[in-house]
Homo-oligomer: A and B are copies of this chain.
Amino acid sequence: MPVNPDAVGLEGEPSRRSWTSKDALLYALGVGAGTDELAFTTENTKDTPQRVLPTMAVVLGGGGVPFDKIGSFNPALMLHGAQKIELFGEIPVDGEIESKGRIGAIWDKGKGASVELISESTDLATGKPLFRNTMTAFLRGEGGYGGERGPATTFELPDRKPDQELRYETRIDQALLYRLSGDRNPLHSDPGFARMGGFERPILHGLCTYGFTGRALLHGVCGGDPARFRSMEGRFSKPVLPGEELTVSMWVDGAECRFQTKNQDGDVVFDQGILTFA
């Protein structure tokens, strides 16, 4: 039994991470913000104080998770299945956090094991919790050990036209820019490496798609105000290639918004999306 179901609840070593205004600008450009979003892409535009895209939580947070305690598995077969962020306040333009991580759940899904990794980050300047990241990793080939399957919760989208829809183009060099925010996996840049992984060319980072989607939600539902953006979750359902178009469809119900992101062919690339907002 290579994964260890008894690892649930185990904690990792806390880790610290700091960032600067420049990191926030680079992240915003990496997920497609531009001249229409100067609050996120500049720090010195008159009457436009710099702010931080809420989804930057995924590159700042996630630390302190005890990957080594999950058991043994082949990292090359690991997929990023789902991602949730919960924000307890607006992310400052620069700062430092301490992140504490733990293994939240391990489920036997048959074809693989599903591992939920939770990381909570505290703003060291205020001592207050800033955000919580929950990442679900799917370990292909590590299921079938007779463990519990876990809850299966999916929902159907409302049977009406979306209340809001925003379309963004990613660029051919999008992944080259996004990777400067941290994830240098050559799957996103080296054509030879991508071919070995079975892709025709390098694929976009899932978390870059997540960032584009979060921008659409911010502008489509939260009036462009990061302080109103409370949580965002959903599942990665298909890789995106740099240069593809992303259309985010949103259905609002009170302080919650269900959403889905599709590519230009109508394929769903991010599914089962739920945003909560103020």
Query: A: which residues have CB within 8 A of B?
Result: 22, 25-26, 29, 34-35, 38, 41-46, 171-173, 176-177, 179-180, 184, 186, 189-190, 192-193, 202, 242
Q: How far is the CA of A34 from the CA of B189 in the complex (A)?
A: 10
Q: Contacts A172-B35, A190-B38; is A180 near B44 (CB within 8 Å)?
A: no
In the complex, chain B residues whose CB is within 8 Å of the CB of A45: 186, 189-190, 192-193
B41/A192 in contact, CB under 8 A? no
Q: How far is the CA of A31 from the CA of B29 in the complex (A)?
A: 15
Q: How far is the CA of A190 from the CA of B242 in the complex (A)?
A: 28
In the complex, chain B residues whose CB is within 8 Å of the CB of A173: 29, 34-35, 41
B172/A46 in contact, CB under 8 A? no
Interface pairs (26), CB distance under 8 Å: A22-B180, A25-B176, A25-B180, A26-B180, A29-B176, A29-B177, A29-B180, A34-B172, A35-B172, A35-B173, A35-B176, A35-B202, A35-B242, A42-B179, A42-B186, A42-B189, A44-B184, A44-B186, A45-B186, A45-B192, A45-B193, A46-B186, A46-B190, A46-B192, A46-B193, A171-B171
Q: How far is the CA of A274 from the CA of B202 in the complex (A)?
A: 37
Q: How far is the CA of A189 from the CA of B177 in the complex (A)?
A: 19
The 6 closest A-B pairs by CB, nearest first: A34-B173, A45-B190, A42-B189, A41-B176, A44-B186, A46-B192
Q: How far is the CA of A22 from the CA of B22 in the complex (A)?
A: 13
In the complex, chain B residues whose CB is within 8 Å of the CB of A43: 184
In whole Å, how far is A83's beta carbon from the nearest beta carbon of chain B? 24
Which of B38, B172, B193 interacts with A189 by CB under 8 Å?
B38
Which of B42, B171, B186 interacts with A190 by CB under 8 Å?
B42
In the complex, chain B residues whose CB is within 8 Å of the CB of A22: 180
In the complex, chain B residues whose CB is within 8 Å of the CB of A34: 172-173, 176
In the complex, chain B residues whose CB is within 8 Å of the CB of A26: 26, 180
Task: Across the interface, name the chain B residue whose C-beta is closest to A44.
Answer: B186
Q: How far is the CA of A38 from the CA of B173 in the complex (A)?
A: 10
In whole Å, how far is A157's beta carbon from the nearest beta carbon of chain B? 32
In the complex, chain B residues whose CB is within 8 Å of the CB of A176: 25, 29, 34-35, 41-42
Identify the interface centre among A45, A171, A176: most chain B CB within 10 Å of its CB: A176
